[in-house]
Amino acid sequence: MADAELHQELARLVGALAEHARAEVLRGEQWAVAGAVTGRGPALRAGTRGPAARGGAGPSGAAARPPSADASPARAADGAPRADAAPTARPERGVSQAALLAVREALGDCQRCGLHAERKQIVFGVGSAQAELMFVGEAPGRDEDLQGEPFVGKAGQLLTRMIEAMGLRRDEVYICNIIKCRPPNNRDPEPDEVASCEPFLRQQIEAIAPRLIVALGNFAARTLLRSELGITRLRGAFHRYQGIPLMPTFHPAYLLRNPEAKRPAWSDLQAVMAEMDRLGLPRRREGVDPV
């Protein structure tokens, strides 16, 4: 079978798995007891969609795409950012893990764009296949390229502290990048590289079906939202990506260089925590201001 046909077949299988997951969730919602869900066990996952149930580029980076209607910010009358999240189906644990593995299989030893030439390894993603919250950055850096895991350098350590400050563990969320291979000298990815790689991010999101996404940094936010606006204009309000509420915030690498931006970044994460609480999504403890 030719590469293109193999890719199409694997993509079809991923879609079929996700469809199966949605059917399973709908079946589960028929017996789920509203208001009874407080934990994260697989049996609770089936009906946890309703509120009762359940780099870095800094502001100077660029990723020009036409604006999209899917990128409209939402704020409540009091000015507080609101995700206004519509309930969506969620895969069962085994199904989402299998779907995620199928996406990785489809990616294979990818050579779909020129970034494959200088990479040490593909940096696919890390974390829970059942994550409610997903962090999406730009592309791997040197440390990530060497270790094969996203956000493992100093910026990654800061991201881990940010996640823990939210009352979560790193292994409870899912972390990945738009681009899976390191651009030479950490330059911004080119449009053709984004076009080649973003379909796999979309499939990852479809497999995991997170309730909320945080876009880390200018490039990630502008690319995902198809926006010409910079991160300083986009952050602070929920937008949508594939129908999922998305909060843009500063990239941890930018925060390392600009500590004064930690306060607004923490404000963004507080809005995400508030939305998680509103949706009934579990966190281990209250957020602790790390700034």
212-216 β-sheet, strand order: 126-127, 174-177, 133-137, 212-216, 244-249, 239-241
Q: Quick check: 128 binds ligand SF4 (CB under 6 A)?
A: no
In degrees to the nearest 10, what's the CA dihedral of 78, 260, 142, 177?
0
DSSP string over 163-228: HHHTT--GGGSEEEES-SSPPGGGPPPPHHHHHHHHHHHHHHHHHH--SEEEEESHHHHHHHHT-S
> In the bound complex, what is the minimum distance in angstroms from residue 14's beta carbon to ligand SF4?
16
Tell me how far CA of residue 86 lies from CA of 31, 47, 50, 105, 268, in angstroms. Answer: 20, 14, 8, 31, 20
Three-state SS at 81: strand
End-to-end alpha carbon distance in the chain: 54
Cα separation, 171 vs 230, in Å, equals 30
Please say which residue, 37 or 123, places its beta carbon nearer to ligand SF4: 123
> In the bound complex, what is the minimum distance in angstroms from residue 208's beta carbon to ligand SF4?
18
Q: By rule CB under 6 A, what string of x and - marks binding of each residue 75-114 to ligand SF4?
A: --------------------------------x--xxxx-
Three-state SS at 270: helix
Q: Quick check: 247 binds ligand SF4 (CB under 6 A)?
A: no
Q: Quick check: 181 binds ligand SF4 (CB under 6 A)?
A: yes
Q: Which stretch binds ligand SF4 (CB under 6 A): 49-57, 58-66, 115-123, 233-241?
A: 115-123
Three-state SS at 234: helix
Q: Which of 193, 206, 268, 275 binds ligand SF4 (CB under 6 A)?
A: 193
Please say which residue, 100 or 110, places its beta carbon nearer to ligand SF4: 110
Q: Quick check: 180 binds ligand SF4 (CB under 6 A)?
A: yes
Q: Quick check: 237 binds ligand SF4 (CB under 6 A)?
A: no
> In the bound complex, what is the minimum distance in angstroms from residue 248's beta carbon to ligand SF4?
22
Alpha carbon 162 to its chain's center: 15
Q: Which of 98, 197, 237, 272 binds ligand SF4 (CB under 6 A)?
A: 197
Please say which residue, 32 or 106, places its beta carbon nearer to ligand SF4: 106
Q: Quick check: 178 binds ligand SF4 (CB under 6 A)?
A: no
Q: Which of 17, 122, 126, 244 binds ligand SF4 (CB under 6 A)?
A: 122
Q: Which stretch binds ligand SF4 (CB under 6 A): 20-28, 90-98, 130-138, 193-201?
A: 193-201
Binding-site size, ligand SF4 (CB under 6 A): 14
Contacts of ligand SF4 in 130-149 (CB under 6 A): none
Contacts of ligand SF4 in 19-38 (CB under 6 A): none
Residue type, 119: R
Q: Quick check: 116 binds ligand SF4 (CB under 6 A)?
A: yes
H-type helices in the chain, by residue range? 3-29, 42-45, 93-107, 142-147, 154-165, 191-208, 218-225, 231-234, 252-257, 262-278
Q: Quick check: 220 binds ligand SF4 (CB under 6 A)?
A: no
> In the bound complex, what is the minimum distance in angstroms from residue 189's beta carbon to ligand SF4?
7
Which residues contact ligand SF4 (rule: CB under 6 A)?
A: 107, 110-113, 115-116, 122, 179-181, 193, 196-197
